[in-house]
Amino acid sequence: MGEFTHFNNRGEAVMVDVSEKKQTVREAIAAGTITMSRACFLKLAEGGMGKGDVLGVARIAGIMGAKKTSELIPLCHVLNLSKVELEFFLLEQECAVKAVCTVRTVGKTGVEMEALTGVSTALLTIYDMCKAVDKSMEIGNICLEKKTGGKSGIYQRQMESGEQ
């Protein structure tokens, strides 16, 4: 098992040295959901029909949020992202929106945090735009789905039984 890498041997936080690491293509895919009341979900789903495009705004927020990752997460390296994409899926049965964020870079560190930050910012923006209708919404299931590139190689999240 690995060790926490963001501390030096005195237990002090440090932005670790990646000078010697290779520049490779790295990709990460993260996902998460926001669950809401049926009434709120139906209103949001209508948005695509010209009544107010919640997901269009959340998509822009998520992309811009991914670019801000190194300002938000103290020990993250600054990375020049070469791609950010956000997809949304309406989960009708659960009255939920699933956000999936794909980030790519050519760099020395992975982009897991950028994909996770993109997802989180998009879901928070949905919350903001829907909160006048439903304050009890819940954001959850935020996790790394997949990661490629870099020394640690491929990571693929195990699907839980019954998971979508």
Q: Which is nearer to a copy of itself, 39 or 92 (CB)?
A: 39
Total residues at the site for a copy of itself (CB under 8 A)? 89
The Cα 66–Cα 122 span in angstroms is 10
Nearest to 26 by CA among 97, 93, 102, 100: 102
CB of 118 to a copy of itself, least distance (A): 10
| Binding of a copy of itself by 87 (CB under 8 A) | yes
75 is in an annotated binding site: yes
Residues 114-143 that bind a copy of itself (CB under 8 A): 116-117, 120-121, 124-125, 127-133, 135-143
Q: Are 46 and 130 in contact (CB under 8 A)?
A: no
**Active-site residue flag, 134:** no
Count Cβ neighbours within 10 Å for each residue of 62-74 and write b for 16 or more, e otherwise.
Answer: bbebbbebbeeee
Q: What is the CA radius of gyration of the chain?
A: 18
Tokens of 123: 């879901």
| Binding of a copy of itself by 75 (CB under 8 A) | yes
Residues 23-42 that bind a copy of itself (CB under 8 A): 25, 32, 39
| Binding of a copy of itself by 3 (CB under 8 A) | yes
CB of 128 to a copy of itself, least distance (A): 5
CB of 155 to a copy of itself, least distance (A): 5
| Binding of a copy of itself by 148 (CB under 8 A) | no
The Cα 32–Cα 34 span in angstroms is 7
| Residues in CB range of 50: below 8 A, 6 or more apart | none
Summarize the annotated binding site for substrate as residue ranges. Answer: 75-77, 113-114
Residues identified as active-site: 128
Summarize the annotated binding site as residue ranges. Answer: 75-77, 113-114
